[in-house]
Amino acid sequence: MSKNTKPSIVFAHGLWADGSCFSKVIPALLAEGYEVMSTQNSLDTLEGDVAAVHRALGRVSTPAILVGHSYGGTVITAAGADDRVAGLVYVAALAPDDDETSQSQQDKFPKTEVFQHIAVADGRVWLLPSGTKYFAGDLSDQEQKLVWAVQGVPLLDLFNQKEDGRHRVAVEADLVHRGQERPHGPPRASTVRREAHGRHHLRGRQQPRPHALEP
């Protein structure tokens, strides 16, 4: 156990992102003495992404705070039962209850503009270049191009999967991800809720605005 009295912090990203999406946040936390790790979620299965968080917990000091952005909120909700977790932080994130999926929670809200700029190919949902301004519009044009180039591409039915790996078949592409994200606190760990409703990507400072998803 580290002598550092601060909790460690483990980030979980959402769709069309990777662990580097927190690269402008992590240095500030490190400077304040926090031990930080960001997971690299495959976006293939919820079960696999939860396992990635568990592996990260094994590499940092505990207790740990899990921070989930967008779909990453679903991931930390499932991973939050781990005894090494001290708390959960949701950043414009999903947090489905036991009887919900990410998709059923999203379906409660209107679909947003970014989903007019996706393509489904090879069983995955790709962000088109025209969609980056709706996904990470606070970034520079060059940074948006980088986001598109390194995007993490989710499996089509990812949002229909439940924590135990069971899932329902997605009916159509625009049901993959819709609505305005909102946390519903899981009862399994102490939770700090931040209803940020900010842009999906966290490479830079966010300006609050309603959106769907994410990532």
Q: The domain that contains 70 carries what CATH number?
A: 3.40.50.1820
Q: Is 201 among the domain residues? A: no
Three-class SS state of 168: coil
Provide the b/e sequence for 99-110 (b: ≥16 CB within 10 Å). Answer: ebbbbebbeeee
Q: Is 40 among the domain residues? A: yes
Instruction: Report the predicted TM-score, pTM, of the whole model to 2 decimal places.
Output: 0.75
Q: Is 62 among the domain residues? A: yes
Q: Is 210 among the domain residues? A: no
**Token reading at 21:** 């999406």
The tally of domains found in the chain comes to 1
Q: Is 211 among the domain residues? A: no
Structural domain including 151 reads 8-194
Q: Is 185 among the domain residues? A: yes
Q: Is 39 among the domain residues? A: yes
In order along its 215 residues, the chain shows pLDDT tens digits of 446 689 999 999 999 999 999 999 999 999 999 999 999 999 999 999 999 999 999 999 889 999 999 999 999 999 999 999 999 999 989 989 888 999 998 888 888 899 899 999 999 999 999 999 999 999 999 999 999 999 999 999 999 998 764 333 332 333 333 333 333 333 333 333 333 223 333 333 232 232 333 33
CA distance 179 to 195: 14
Q: Is 105 among the domain residues? A: yes
